[in-house]
Amino acid sequence: MLVLGLSALIGGARAQSPDACRWEGAGTLVDRTHDWLSRSLCWPSRWVDGFFEDPLRENNEPAASLVRLTGERVWRDDGDGATDVDLDARVWLPSAERRFSLLFRSHDEDQDPESPVARDIPDGERDNGFRGALRWVIDRTDDMDLDLDVGARSDLTTFTRLRYRRLYPLFNESAWLRYTQRIYWRDPEGWGSRSLFELDRPLAPDTTLRFSSEIRYTEELNQAGDGLGLFQGVNLFKRLSGRSALNMGLGVGGKTQPAVVDSYRLYARYRRNVWRPWLFVEVEPFVLWPRDQGYQGVNGIVLRLETLFGRVES
């Protein structure tokens, strides 16, 4: 699921404190509690950074750790709803020249915010495992990055993933093509790859049209004789104000052997920053047409409450 950037969704509230790990609010009990949790998050990063710090280094980048905690409730008229809480955390190790960070997630990468929107069906099947990884940024430029993740899941299985991303300007920068290639190994699933192509066409300063195509290979699909997994999607992103945005999308997912469509999905996702710069609500009504239900329409709605801890700035 694609998530609109915080910079496009949070209004004029910025972190004014020189401390990169906190947001100074109005001094209420809620603000003080949130500030304490944010500073507690950064403490492990600063401890590791200070313990291994080069004594000859003069300038030390501040930690930029961030935790996203999302509560989600899905209602479907076929009764296959779900309730879930997702944790996504990144802890930077600044003395490592921003080359290393620690990642902690309570969901699989297929439910990563970077995944194509609307490919995954909201239902009662949830993976409650926990994952931790060390990310190494091998190379990074303004239009390219290459990184490697090595980690383990809570069931004591391991995984590794290599990701390459490149941004290409098109038609005198009137459109942008982003290519993402992931190659991974998971115990015990084996090898897999995901090739994602995203074409962004700005229609106005506050409106962007995105076309997404993904080709997915896994040993599980290959052993089942299903060939490759395919996804096609189109999304319209509209910034409504400095505090809210709308994402309307259509997604089609299937496989190549046999060449069938597993599901169609049409949805609208409204996201709004409320009360504090670190609190968001989302409402996402959708209609789903799954093949295993004879392409009969399934109506539903998703409600989300998202809280950010750490450095929050627009």
Extents of the domains making up the chain: 6-310
Q: Give 53's pLDDT tier (boundaries 50, 70, 90).
A: very low
Under the phi-then-psi rule, with left for phi > 0, alpha for psi from -120 to 50, and beta for the rest, what region is 172? left
| pLDDT for 246 beyond 70 | yes
Mapped onto helix, strand or coil, the DSSP state of residue 104 is strand
Site of tokens 């060390």: 134
6-310 has which fold?
Porin (2.40.160)
pLDDT of residue 145: 92
CB atoms within 10 A of CB 141: 9
Where do we find the tokens 């999607």?
233
Q: Which of 117, 133, 123 is nearest to 265 (CA)?
A: 117
Do the beta carbons of residue 230 and residue 218 sit within 8 Å?
Answer: no
C-alpha 102: how far from chain center: 15
Torsion over CA: 290, 127, 304, 83 (sign)? positive
79 Cβ contact list (under 8 Å, min separation 6): none
Q: Rounded to an integer, what distance in angstroms lies between the CA atom of residue 230 and that of residue 183?
A: 16
The tally of CA atoms less than 13 A away on the side-chain side of residue 111 is: 21
Report pTM. Answer: 0.79
pLDDT band at 29 (very low <50, low <70, confident <90, very high): confident
Per the prediction, the chain carries an average pLDDT of 80
